């Protein structure tokens, strides 16, 4: 009976050492090079795998790859013995394993025409996501926005690849530097009148980060499926930057100013305004506050499973939302205005917001674009989007003194870090909040 064991070439080495598969059968013993290396401190000899620790990136993927090699080795003995009618030689076993793992004579992954190219596999990655072969961490299918994002990154890589040789082996520091520089570069041309026309804008830091994150996700997919063996994308140098982006929230007074605008002469704007106000008092995302069904309404509460995260939330219905529901009662099944596309709703929100006097005030918009710190002046009404509603609810309730942990249960945030990105409280407001807390403490003592 054949025996299979993984061993480290140098157990006591203070650095990475190759992992060798030893195969024993019929009194013979030979080594098969796995092509994998590991630091001895991460190797679990009894379990024949790397340790499941934080310091070792993606141990599950690494162990799965070792498992694929072991499976191919075990298959080789039985298949060759039946095929040859005798015990196979070590050379025959090695060749069989190489074929199973699609390796060439040098032990590398095969680069024949059947092996997909970098962009060819990226296309398959998108198709797998679209068709439900790939699922989210919660076991759900990817939504249209995710697929659209993948397609956008693919198109950008396709253009970038005309000047850069895109292969799994070339995804290194040079690629990262050049690709980020490409995203940060503004490109322009001149029209027939000789005027400058921008054909590609420079990207914000967070937008660049989103592109890099998609590439990292794709390379993980490629690694799991045995097509990528270049682990540079797992290093700290291959970073997907994410900082708190600039955004605004509406105070309760500003929300009321919007709510009391006379829009009956423009019913389409009135419906958009009312639906936006529902978002301001529920804290739901656009995909959720535009999809409230009758069965989600339970007297004084909304009971909803969020579309993005699958989180179950229970939200008390604010008096203003009750007024809006009474207004549309009998007109629509859920007593709320019908939804329109996010893009169109954002356009209409600008038409509405410009009518509110309280939103006609300058705001200093700061950010990082093209690798440089930027600062521009805009009117607050220009910055209102559907997502402003969710930020407004989270910020206003937080400022009222409601506990953050309890508020997270209502907004559906899983981590305090992600929740705090929504809170738009200025340093001055935080200082006043602390002063109020101290004053209350002094009054209690007195």
CATH number of the domain within which 279 lies: 1.10.443.10
Indicate if 43 and 92 belong to the same structural domain.
yes
Indicate if 283 and 393 belong to the same structural domain.
yes
Indicate if 173 and 272 belong to the same structural domain.
no
Give the per-residue pLDDT at 384: 95
Give the per-residue pLDDT at 109: 45
Phi, psi dihedral angles at 296 (to 5 degrees): -80, -15
Burial 242-255 (b: 16+ CB within 10 A, else e): eeeebebbbeeebb
Q: Tens digits of per-residue pLDDT, 408-429?
A: 888 888 777 777 777 777 667 7
Indicate if 227 and 269 belong to the same structural domain.
no
Indicate if 403 and 313 belong to the same structural domain.
yes
51 within a domain of the structure (yes/no) = yes
Q: Which residues pair with 297 in a beta bridge?
A: 302
240 within a domain of the structure (yes/no) = no
Indicate if 42 and 80 belong to the same structural domain.
yes
Q: Pick from 205, 234, 263: which residue ends a domain?
A: 234
- CA dist 346 to 185, 283, 379, Å? 28, 17, 16
Indicate if 404 and 268 belong to the same structural domain.
yes
83 within a domain of the structure (yes/no) = yes
198 within a domain of the structure (yes/no) = yes
140-149 long-range CB contacts below 8 Å, 24 or more apart? 140/310, 143/307, 143/308, 149/210, 149/214
Q: Pick from 74, 100, 126: which residue ends a domain?
A: 100
The torsion angle over the Cα atoms of residues 325, 326, 327 and 329, rounded to 10 degrees, is 80
Indicate if 293 and 212 belong to the same structural domain.
no
Indicate if 91 and 48 belong to the same structural domain.
yes
Indicate if 142 and 201 belong to the same structural domain.
yes
Three-state DSSP class for 434? helix
Average pLDDT of the residues of the chain = 86
Residues comprising the chain, all counted: 446
381-384 long-range CB contacts below 8 Å, 24 or more apart? 381/350, 381/353, 381/354, 381/356, 382/350, 382/353, 383/247, 383/248, 384/248, 384/250, 384/349, 384/350, 384/353, 384/359
174 within a domain of the structure (yes/no) = yes
Q: Which domain, by its residues, includes 83?
A: 3-100
Counting the structural domains of the chain, the total is: 3
Q: Tens digits of per-residue pLDDT, 195-224?
A: 766 666 778 888 999 999 999 999 998 988
pTM attached to this predicted model:
0.58
Question: What does the block give as tokens for 378?
Answer: 């805009």
Phi, psi dihedral angles at 437 (to 5 degrees): -60, -45
Q: Tens digits of per-residue pLDDT, 43-93?
A: 999 999 988 877 776 788 888 888 888 888 888 888 887 888 887 887 888
Three-state DSSP class for 5? strand
Indicate if 181 and 77 belong to the same structural domain.
no
112 within a domain of the structure (yes/no) = no
Q: Tens digits of per-residue pLDDT, 364-374?
A: 877 666 556 77
Indicate if 203 and 317 belong to the same structural domain.
no
């Amino acid at each position: 009976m054949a025996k299979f064991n993984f061993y480290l070439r140098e157990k006591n080495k203070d650095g990475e050492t190759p992992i060798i598969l030893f195969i024993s059968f019929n009194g013979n013993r030979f080594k098969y090079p796995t092509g994998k290396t590991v630091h001895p401190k991460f190797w679990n000899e009894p379990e024949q795998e790397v340790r499941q620790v934080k310091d070792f990136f993606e141990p599950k993927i690494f162990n799965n790859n070792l498992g694929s090699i072991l499976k191919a080795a075990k298959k080789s003995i039985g298949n060759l013995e039946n095929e040859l009618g005798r015990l196979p030689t070590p050379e025959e076993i090695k060749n069989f394993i190489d074929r199973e793992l699609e390796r060439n004579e040098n032990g590398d992954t095969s680069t024949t025409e059947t092996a997909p190219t970098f962009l060819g596999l990226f296309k398959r990655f998108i198709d797998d996501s679209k068709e439900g072969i790939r699922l989210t961490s919660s076991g759900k299918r990817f939504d249209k926005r995710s697929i659209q994002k993948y397609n956008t990154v693919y198109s950008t890589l396709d253009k970038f690849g005309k000047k850069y040789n895109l292969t799994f082996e070339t995804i290194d520091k040079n690629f990262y530097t050049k690709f980020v520089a490409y995203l940060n570069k503004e490109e322009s041309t001149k029209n027939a009148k000789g005027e400058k026309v921008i054909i590609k804008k420079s990207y914000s830091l967070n937008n660049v980060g989103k592109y890099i994150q998609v590439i990292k996700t794709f390379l993980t997919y490629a690694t799991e499926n045995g097509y990528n063996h270049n682990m540079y994308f797992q290093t700290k140098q291959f970073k997907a930057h994410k900082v708190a982006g600039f955004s605004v929230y509406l105070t309760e007074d500003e929300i009321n100013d919007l709510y009391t605008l006379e829009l009956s002469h423009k019913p389409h704007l009135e419906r958009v305004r009312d639906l936006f106000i529902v978002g301001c008092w529920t804290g739901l995302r656009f995909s959720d506050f535009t999809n409230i069904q009758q069965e989600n309404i339970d007297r004084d509460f909304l009971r909803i499973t969020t579309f993005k995260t699958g989180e179950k939330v229970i939200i008390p219905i604010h008096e203003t939302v009750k007024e809006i529901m009474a207004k549309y009662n009998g007109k629509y099944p859920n007593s709320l205005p019908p939804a329109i596309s996010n893009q169109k709703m954002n356009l209409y929100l600008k038409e509405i917001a410009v009518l509110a006097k309280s939103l006609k005030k300058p705001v200093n918009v700061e950010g990082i674009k093209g690798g440089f710190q930027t600062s521009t002046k805009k009117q607050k009404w220009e910055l209102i989007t559907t997502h402003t509603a969710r930020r407004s609810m989270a910020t206003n309730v937080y400022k009222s003194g409601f506990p953050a942990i309890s508020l997270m249960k209502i907004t559906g945030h899983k981590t305090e870090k992600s929740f705090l990105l929504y809170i738009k409280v200025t340093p001055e407001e935080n200082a006043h909040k602390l002063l109020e807390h101290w004053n209350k403490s002094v009054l209690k003592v007195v």
